Amino acid sequence: MRTLVLPLVLALAAVLTPAAQAATTHVVEVIGDEFKPDTIWIKTGDSVKWVFRGPGVARVRKGLTPPQPCRYTSGPDSGLKRPGQTYTLKFSEPKHFVYHSTVRDVCRMTGTVHVD
């Protein structure tokens, strides 16, 4: 009887334990001088994929927290992207990620990713 109980308990525990939540990729469109949406909330482990729609080139760069969201010191930078290209960034810890788009050192727009 004991030899049947342990496998039964283990099987039942496997069925009742919730599966680990799969990571999600959230999409932000870069259209003209707008991020759509410009603010999003995601979970730790999720990714954000910026899809560049044009017209013209754009980039996504890490900014400093307000009041200087357009100031870039170091960190993630997509480089210049043309319409149809994408840039994906995975967020592995909780934080508020302020980003901006610059072309020829002109800050065109800003956005925020809130990571819980």
pTM of the predicted model as reported, rounded to 2 decimal places = 0.78
Residues 6+ apart with CB under 8 A from 15: none
Chain segment 57-104, per-residue pLDDT in tens: 999 998 877 667 788 778 899 999 999 999 999 999 999 999 998 877
Judge whether 47 and 60 are in contact, CB under 8 Å. Answer: no
Domains and CATH numbers, the chain: 22-115 (2.60.40.420)
Judge whether 63 and 97 are in contact, CB under 8 Å. Answer: no
CA 24 vs. chain centroid, Å, equals 9
Pairing of β 39-42 and β 106-115: parallel
CB atoms within 10 A of CB 33: 11
